[in-house]
Amino acid sequence: MATATLLRDGASDSDPDDFSTLPFPQPLPRSAFTNLDFSPATYLASLHRHQTLEDLRSELRTRSNDLERELVELVNRDYADFVGLGGSLRGGEDRVNDLKLGVMGFAREVDGVKGKVVKVADEMERGMASKKAVTRKKALARNLISLETRLSQLEALLLLRETDDTFDATMLYNFESADDPANASLTSLPRLQKLVTSFLYLQHLLEKVPATHPFVAAQGARIERAKQTISGDLSRALKESRAELKDDDLTEDERRELEKRLVHVLALWGDIGGTEDAVKSLKERR
């Protein structure tokens, strides 16, 4: 009896239909599905080889149902929180309306201040434009007055108009040297130099005023007459220098000084744009 039992136990140990000795597969871990580089083929290959396909399908179906249930619970919980938030906001309409009225009142005040600022800015812009126009007119008036003054002084120095004793005492003294009698001549270099300087300053003033201004247009004849008179004085100075250079009794120093004076006179002529007149004067025979 014992032998039979032993034989049955031994047979049971070696029975090929007994699956009790096989290892049971482990549950599918949730972490395996949360990897960013999850690959179904790789995951299936890593499963235990004793797990059947039906068992795997059943477990995956269970896992899917669990996930759906969790998702529904999560949505219901968030929806309940949202509904609770909406309920907590009930009764705040009055506060919202008060706040809205306050914001609208503040916006009206801002618009009023903005309108005042724009109005003041426009007034300032008009004031600045008016000030700039007055400044331009003042500058033009000063330049025109300076032009008339300088032109009158130049005409007086050229003996083109009569002047009072005060003008002669202050202006002619600056153009003539009492220590050098030779400077009393109308063709002396100091006088010619200052005449040319005065004429160049007059041209500088003309550049500051519009050429089409009626006053400037009316002075054209006077300016041209002054220029012609200066050219005449330079021509006489040039002829005098040429005549003096023909003196055979001149010393070497005297001849050198006369040549320097001649060159200086030609340079002054070029300063007032009379180069052609200077060349013409040099070609003339006495």
Q: What is the pLDDT of residues 255-280, one digit of tens each?
A: 888 888 888 888 888 888 766 766 76
Mean pLDDT of 12-40: 64
Alpha-helix runs per DSSP H in the chain: 2-13, 40-46, 53-88, 93-157, 165-167, 173-175, 189-206, 214-218, 220-245, 252-271, 275-283
What is the rounded distance in angstroms from the CA atom of residue 135 to the CA atom of residue 21?
114
- Please check whether residue 6 lies inside any domain of the structure: no
Task: Quote the DSSP letter at residue 28.
Answer: P
Residue 88 has pLDDT above 60, yes or no: yes
- What separation in angstroms does the CA of 44 have from each of 47, 54, 157, 240? 5, 13, 119, 125
Neighbours of 158 (CB within 10 A): 20
Does 271 lie in the same domain as 186?
yes
- Please check whether residue 21 lies inside any domain of the structure: no
- Give the pLDDT confidence score for residue 135 in this predicted structure: 92
Does 160 lie in the same domain as 68?
no
- Please check whether residue 105 lies inside any domain of the structure: no
- Give the pLDDT confidence score for residue 7 in this predicted structure: 39
- Please check whether residue 11 lies inside any domain of the structure: no
- Please check whether residue 203 lies inside any domain of the structure: yes
Mean pLDDT of 101-114: 88
Question: pLDDT digits over 165-215, tens only?
Answer: 444 434 444 444 434 444 447 788 888 999 999 999 998 998 988 988 899
Q: How many CA atoms lie within 13 Å of 201's alpha carbon, on the beta-carbon side? A: 15
- Give the pLDDT confidence score for residue 4 in this predicted structure: 41
- Evaluate whether 192 touches 268 at the Cβ level (below 8 Å): yes
Task: Quote the DSSP letter at residue 29.
Answer: P
